[in-house]
Structure formats: structure tokens, C-alpha cells
A and B are shown apart, each in its own frame.
Chain A
Amino acid sequence: EVQLLESGGGLVQPGGSLRLSCAASGFTVSSTYMSWVRQAPGKGLEWVSIIHSGGSTYYADSVKGRFTISRDISKNTLYLQMNSLRAEDTAVYYCARDTGVGASEWGQGTLVTVSS
């Protein structure tokens, strides 16, 4: 059974940093695309970043240069390093397995709040 478990969310001040983790089970994170998607309070879904099975990475313009997606194959874990955080980055962050035809499995999400 595929499972995704995010962690690392919390309260951070504007300009600060946070690293989110997504522990995967039931498959290997390097075998498929893996995405991060976020949802601001009361708002819709926003795609944030994706890592290809070959390791190529892509970002939404809103986070490019500030966020970095990565994975640790030995830990079967996906990461999102978030730097220079802004109030508008406040959201629930979901990791998702993306088999190339959309995000087929999702984690439960972790809340990031950027506030002073």
C-alpha cells in the first residue's frame, strides 16, 4: 500500500527557512515523479514543484529561487527546503506521487504558517 507522511511544518517568521519531509512507503521515490502542492487557507490547490525520476527539478514561478525539492533514496523520503519565506507561503503543503498522469496518491499535508 502506498503511503505518504509529511512532517516539518510549523510557525516561522518572514524571511526564515523550513524543511518539509515526506516519508514514502509502498514504492520508491526515485521510480516516479514526486510533487509538492500547497493550499492556502480557504483557497485552491497550487502546484509548487516536481522532481523527475531522473532527478530533474521544476518549480512554480512563485517559489523559484527560494524553494528546493530533493529526495534521499536511502531514506525513501522527499524534501522541500523553503527559504526566504513570505506570508503568502502560508499553506498546507502536500506531497504527492505523480505517475506522469497526475498525482495519484497524496499525503495528509503539513501546515506552514509564516508570521511574525
Chain B
Amino acid sequence: EIVMTQSPVTLSVSPGERATLSCRASQSVSTNLAWFQQKRGQAPRLLIYGASTRATGIPDRFSGSGSGTEFTLTISSLQSEDFAVYYCQQYNNWPPRRTFGQGTKVEVK
């Protein structure tokens, strides 16, 4: 099983500042990596897939990078609606098992 590890667990950031979230895979997943945002009481929302491609409707302040085992989600200038929990997920092509990281909570500093 591929284990995904996110860091930090909690990130305290002021509105307007940059946030950088990390995700590490226990073995290479190439660029088969997605990022999700989840707000309290809501279903997750896909932000990024293919490690760096923004999903439909996602603002360009969200960007993803990385390949292999190291990945980063960057929010260039945090807006009030961006304070949430973020998860990475690997989607190995075959067999199509998925695993999530444990999440990073982005909170107001």
C-alpha cells in the first residue's frame, strides 16, 4: 500500500500570505496526485489533478507541483474562503487503489 504523508498538520497563515503544503508518497506515484479542499460540514472538492493541473473553476492562486514522491500545493495569496483542510491523494493507475494523506489544516494566524 502506498502511504501518503502530509506536512505540516496545521498551518497558521495570515490572509493575503502564501501557504505551502507538502505531500510525500512512500513510493513513486509519477504525477498521479490530486489535491482536495474540504470545508467544515462539506464534501471535499477537487482542486488539482495530475500533480499540477487545476480542476474546472479553481482559481489560479492554487498551484501544484512535484512528481515521484514529493509534491507541493501552493496558495499564493490566501483568501478568507481558503481556510480549510487540504488532502492529497494518490491514484495509482493499476490496480486503481487510492490513498489519502492525513490532511493539513490551514487556519487563520
Contact = CB atoms under 8 A, between A and B. Distances in A.
Interface of A: 33, 35, 37, 44-47, 50, 52, 58, 60-61, 94, 98, 100-109
Interface in B22-62: 32, 34, 36, 38, 43-46, 49-50, 53, 55
Contact of A47 (B38, B89, B103): B89
A101 B30 CA distance: 12
Interface of B: 1, 32, 34, 36, 38, 43-46, 49-50, 53, 55, 85, 87, 89, 91, 93, 95-103
Contacts of B44: 37, 45, 94, 103, 106
Contact of A98 (B91, B93, B100, B103): B91
A42 to B, nearest CB: 11
Given A44-B100, A47-B98, A107 B43 contact: yes
A102 B101 CA distance: 14
Contacts of A106: 43-45
- A-side interface mostly: strand
B55 A58 contact: no
A108 B38 CA distance: 12
A17 to B, nearest CB: 24
Contacts of B53: 101
A104 B46 contact: yes
